[in-house]
Amino acid sequence: MFRTERSGTPRKYADFIGEVQHRIDAGTQAEAVRTTRAVLETLGERVGEGGATDIASPLPLEIDRYLLQVEHGQTSDLDEFVERVHERLNDEDLELETDYSRPSGVDRADATYRTKAVLALLSEVVPGGEIANVESQLHEEFEELFELVDAETQPWEAQ
């Protein structure tokens, strides 16, 4: 399980990325970074700036920027949201010169699973009221993406 400091703040960037890597069964940390970035940028676009700031504040600085650097308050339904994550996971990102700039080659089903895994981790790190505020900004159909939050058994625990 991901460990946080008493205040709920993640201890380190590497801990967060390592936990994402474990949950999505990624072969490299770069793939976990790319997944984290794809999910959080898309979430940041979908919620208002205040909501993005609230959920970004307990995250490591290297991660919170994914939520904050985007245009907030965009509307999208669940299919569009997952498609944006999917596109980001598979985008060339040619302007980046890092390992995570390489496309992941994941399908939509895997993009959905990765989104659920990152959101479940986010719910462990961000105070409950802040996550509830974000969830309230999303249409009911988005509940599917939060199904691993508080689930009795997590898929990554069986690995």
Output the pLDDT for position 6.
37
Residue 40 pLDDT level (bands cut at 50, 70, 90): very high
Residue 155 pLDDT level (bands cut at 50, 70, 90): confident
d(CA 15, CA 81): 26
Average pLDDT over the chain reads: 84
Give ∠ CA 16-54-8 in degrees, rounded to 5. Answer: 45
Residue 71 predicted with pLDDT over 60: yes
d(CA 146, CA 118): 10
Q: Please, how many CA atoms are within 13 Å of residue 3, restricted to the half-sphere of its CB?
A: 5
Output the pLDDT for position 112.
96
The mean per-residue pLDDT over the stretch 86-92 comes to 86
d(CA 33, CA 40): 11
pTM for this one? 0.85
Residue 51 predicted with pLDDT over 70: yes
Task: Name the residue with tokens 């895994």.
Answer: 117
The CA–CA distances, whole Å, from 148 to 23, 28, 87, 103, 112 equal 11, 23, 22, 25, 12
d(CA 90, CA 6): 36
**Which of 84-88, 129-133, 146-150 is the least confident region?**
129-133
Output the pLDDT for position 10.
45
Q: 92 vs 95, which has greater pLDDT?
A: 92
Crossing angle for the helix pair 108-125 and 29-46, to the nearest 10 degrees: 80
